[in-house]
Amino acid sequence: MPSVGLVFFDGNHKYEPTMRYFFQCMEKSNRQTVFVFHDIYWSGEMAKAWKEICSQATVMLSVDLYYFGLVFFRNNQPKQHFVLKF
């Protein structure tokens, strides 16, 4: 399978499966891929996974929209994390 442009993560709201899915999808990502994580605060385990995902060296930009989070891998910019409340 070639690299993917967009991955939407939803369904299993536990830490271990979320991290496993993240690393599996990372193998097919590129610098233009966007990951969308649904329900990032649905449970303590999801919040923990979201925090760890944002801290990964390959994640250069993360956007926390409370109900979901966006992750970007563009390596030509400084690492940034945004929290938007509305």
- Give tens-digit pLDDT for 41-64: 999 999 999 999 999 999 999 999
Task: Give the integer Cα–Cα distance in Å for 86 and 73.
Answer: 25
Q: What local confidence, expressed as pLDDT, does residue 1 receive?
A: 64
- Give tens-digit pLDDT for 2-52: 889 999 999 889 999 999 999 999 999 999 999 999 999 999 999 999 999
Q: Are 35 and 70 in contact (CB under 8 A)?
A: yes
Task: Map residue 23 onto helix, strand or coil.
Answer: helix
- Contacts of 57-62 with CB under 8 Å at 24 or more apart are 58/26
